[in-house]
Amino acid sequence: MVAVVVLDEEGRCNYLNAIAEVLTGFGSNEAFGRKLDAILTLVGPEPLPDTALGAAVRRSAEAVGETRMLGPGGVPIPVAFRTVPLRRQDGELHGTVVELIDLTGETGAGRALRESEERLRLATAATGIGIWDVNPSVGHRRWSDEFL
């Protein structure tokens, strides 16, 4: 399950999904309007703004990585993160989406699959190549915008 935090262009929280509420220990109303470092505490000597996650949010850049955060009760939780900038049709920054995945109990196969998917995402983004996917058992097909 993915925790989702949506930040406005100033880096203030506009939305937390239910998973993010559990992971951070903050309710949506309590988190609304706060900066990410006020609702998310990372484990380590550096404050959140000085980390890769903080830099991505500050620059409103797409980024992926792993870190450890303090969950409810101060329990350290390993998480994978992804940041995605939100832009209006005119290209103006509208905010940033931060996705967090709790890696507690992740198996070797789960990590390998996540890393493989990330490599594919990076390769398709870097080359602009289109991809398609078919699930023959149900007849479902998907195409990327680049493929179309």
Q: What is the DSSP string of 36-98?
A: HHHH--BSSSS-GGGSHHHHHHHHT--EEEEEEEE-GGG-EEEEEEEEEEEE-TTS-EEEEEE
Q: Could you report the per-residue pLDDT of 101-123, keeping only the tens digit for each?
A: 988 876 666 667 767 777 777 78
The number of domains in the chain is: 1
Which residue from 90, 99, 84 is spatially nearest to 20, judged by alpha carbons?
99
With respect to residue 40, please indicate whether it lies within any of the assigned structural domains.
Answer: yes
The domain spanning residue 27 has which CATH number? 3.30.450.20
Please state, in angstroms and rounded to a whole number, the distance separating the CA atoms of residues 111 and 113: 5
Residue 127 lies in a domain: no
Q: Which domain holds residue 80?
A: 2-106
133 within a domain of the structure (yes/no): no
The encoded tokens of residue 73 equal 């009760």
The answer to whether position 139 is within a domain reads no
Q: What's the average model confidence in pLDDT over 37-66?
A: 89
Average pLDDT over residues 32-45: 92
